[in-house]
Amino acid sequence: MGEPKLIDPFARAITYLRVSVTDRCDFRCVYCMAENMTFLPKRDLLTLEELDRLCSAFVGLGVRKLRITGGEPLVRRDILTFFRAMGRHLETGALDELTLTTNGSQLERFAADLAAAGVRRVNVSLDTLDADKFARVTRWGKLTQVLRGIDAAQAAGLRVKINTVALKGFNEDELFPLVDWCAARDMDLTFIEVMPMGDLGNEDRVGQYWSVRDVRARLEEHFTTLDLAERSGGPARYVRIEETGQKIGFITPLSHNFCESCNRVRLTCTGELFMCLGQEDRADLRAPLRAHPEDDAPLVSAIRAAIGLKPKGHDFDYSRQRPDGQVSRHMSHTGG
């Protein structure tokens, strides 16, 4: 592995690209989307070939990890052709990991093909093991469908990690059942603080906010935890529960800012590059991509210029009982 080729103004090497391949989803989770969403017209979306070219440019600039997100990435038509195309970078050694975050609804259908394309890990978003509560938080989802997807992923040899958004008054009572369920299935579990993104109508972000510091403190009333030095390339901090051996992650953009080690940028399905999840700054990569179909040099220059504008950090803050630092776009637009 050579020297990193993308260095931001704060001497952070950018080696991790999160790519939203669609803004569409078959769920309408209350903290992520409005129930009646207006989705982007098809002409605004990058084609799968354009996504391939863009991601390949980033790989050529030293990105070692690609995480595919959405919306729900597996609802994008012919998405497996994109995963197979990215698999060539795994074969050459230019890419260390190709992975995805999914709601699990389509995993039963796609798990075996994803494994064949080189995917080894998937993150599944799951906030509750109660079918009625699941239907309520996702609005349109069916828990049984997701559980079958997780079964299929494990049967295909994929390592599954569960991502749970900590929601006050919603899943506080499921903290230990979720930990026990994941331990029984040999799955790691990460708790995520709800982030102030998008205008979701009547959703009360301050009311939803359950500090992950509190989650950890509650866990430590019953378990012995050991801090782990390992990092997955993302913002999570990990502990191991000695009684079960499982790994628990905590993503705390509000109660603990993780920006100092940020090594990632986010590409949307329209070709916008967001240098920070919690800022509005963005760069248009679709324009140079389409203006120069046979020449990647202008695209590479645009990527380098964007990385040169990456901010030091975000401004999320609930401490004054309002979601300070809120950004206007929905999480589904940026890809989490």
Structure confidence by residue, pLDDT tens digits, 148-178: 999 999 999 999 999 999 998 999 999 999 9
Rg (CA), the chain: 19
List, as residue ranges, the binding site for [4Fe-4S] cluster.
25, 29, 32, 259, 262, 276
Cβ contact 190:162 at 8 Å: yes
Most confident of 20-34, 73-87, 230-244: 73-87
Q: Supply the DSSP symbol for 190.
A: E
Cβ contact 174:210 at 8 Å: no
pLDDT category at 277 given cuts 50, 70, 90 is low
Q: How far apart are CA 297 and CA 329, in angstroms?
A: 30
List, as residue ranges, the binding site.
18, 25, 29, 31-32, 67, 71, 101, 125, 161, 195, 259, 262, 264-266, 276
320 Cβ contact partners less than 8 Å away, ≥ 6 residues apart: none
Domain boundaries, the chain: 16-334
List, as residue ranges, the binding site for S-adenosyl-L-methionine.
31, 71, 125, 195
Superfamily of domain 16-334: Aldolase class I (3.20.20.70)
- Model pLDDT, residue 272: 96
- Model pLDDT, residue 45: 94
Both tokens assigned to 83? 């995963």
pLDDT digits (tens, 9 = 90+) for 114-156: 999 999 999 999 999 999 999 999 998 999 999 999 999 999 9
Cβ contact 118:87 at 8 Å: yes
Instruction: Provide φ and ψ at 16, rounded to 5°.
Output: -135, 120
pLDDT category at 3 given cuts 50, 70, 90 is low
- Model pLDDT, residue 188: 94
Q: Return the minimum-mean-pLDDT range out of 9-18, 69-78, 238-247, 319-328.
A: 319-328
184 by DSSP, 3-state: which?
A: helix
Could you tell me how many residues make up the chain? 336
pLDDT category at 232 given cuts 50, 70, 90 is low
Q: How far apart are CA 87 and CA 246, in angstroms?
A: 29
Cβ contact 141:134 at 8 Å: yes
Q: How far apart are CA 175 and CA 276, in angstroms?
A: 30
Quick one: CA torsion of 219, 221, 226, 228, rounded to 10 degrees? 30
Q: How far apart are CA 75 and CA 63, in angstroms?
A: 25
Q: Which residue has the higher pLDDT, 188 or 202?
A: 188
Q: How far apart are CA 128 and CA 73, in angstroms?
A: 21
13 has pLDDT over 60? yes
Q: How far apart are CA 312 and CA 12, in angstroms?
A: 10
pLDDT digits (tens, 9 = 90+) for 304-331: 999 999 887 755 443 434 444 444 444 4
Q: Which residue has the higher pLDDT, 261 or 75?
A: 75
List, as residue ranges, the binding site for GTP.
18, 67, 101, 161, 264-266
- Model pLDDT, residue 198: 45
Question: Residue 333: enclosing H or E segment and its boundaries?
Answer: helix 331-334
